[in-house]
Amino acid sequence: MLGKPQNDQNVESSRPPARRVQKGQRPVPHRKPSVTDSSPAQESNFQSTPLGATSSINILAGFAGKNRVLVISAPNDSDGYYRLMMNLLKPDVYCEMADRHMQQIIMFHEKGNMGGKVRRISNQGSLVEEPLDPGLVPRLMGFLKLEDGKFGMVLLRKTLQVEERYPYPVQLEAIYEAIDQAPMRRLEKSRQKGFVQKCKTAGVEGQVVQSVGSNAVGLQPQ
């Protein structure tokens, strides 16, 4: 059982400091991805998944083939690493994320404090935040091999395979580099020239629309 939430100072002192990531430099992965590369047919085959993981897969399946997902996990919203990462997710980053077809799942896994939200990013860089069912948190933690009691992030490909793992906050440029090196991303860039500039001119980048569903007009996942 986890103890009481620690303050920022205690959390930071109990873990090694986050490594500074220079622009364009990728962090050293914490461990090898838990899902190995496979053919497209194998990537979409979930019949061999563990019992009890169905709901976890269902929530991720809505992104499959369309979106990359950045999953952020922390014991609670007072966690020092979590607060540092959220400071990096400033309102002016969401057009860059939309350009890369990224969505976010944030979850808190401390016992008695489980929950979180799904953050859907529109083509205009605006956000819809949907509550995450607390009952799904342990299943998602197990499915994505995230550690209980610790901060961690997982970047998922459009195939729902693990692209990268981060045990500490990292600069967004490092996450972008992990995405941009893929052949699929190079094709996307050629098709989406001028997307970021057009997105920013909409004037709603980083604005949050609270929602209990995913049917807000103009704010569906890409």
pLDDT tens per residue across span 127-143? 999 999 999 999 999 99
Residue 191 falls inside a structural domain: yes
Any domain includes 79? yes
| Beta carbons within 8 Å of 156's beta carbon, 6+ residues apart | 60, 63, 68, 69, 70, 71, 162, 163
Q: What domain range is 173 assigned to?
A: 64-210
* Model confidence, pTM: 0.71
Give every CB contact of residue 54 below 8 A, 6+ residues apart in sequence: none
Rg (CA), the chain: 17
Q: Report pLDDT digits (tens) over 17-63.
A: 444 444 444 444 444 433 333 333 333 333 333 333 335 557 898 99
Residue 156 has which token pair? 């998922």
Residue 221 lies inside a defined structural domain of this protein: no
Q: Which residues of the chain have pLDDT under 70?
A: 1-57, 210-222
CA distance 107 to 17: 22
pLDDT at 55: 52
57 in a structural domain? no
Q: Is residue 126 part of a domain?
A: yes
Is the residue at 133 inside a domain?
Answer: yes
pLDDT value of residue 98: 98
Q: Count the domains in the chain.
A: 1
How far apart CA 100 and CA 112 sit, in angstroms, is 35
In whole angstroms, what is the distance from residue 142 CA to residue 55 CA? 12
Domain with 110 in it: what CATH number?
A: 3.40.30.10
In a domain? residue 27: no
Q: What are the φ/ψ torsions at residue 55 (nearest 5 degrees)?
A: -65, -35
Within a domain: 129:
yes
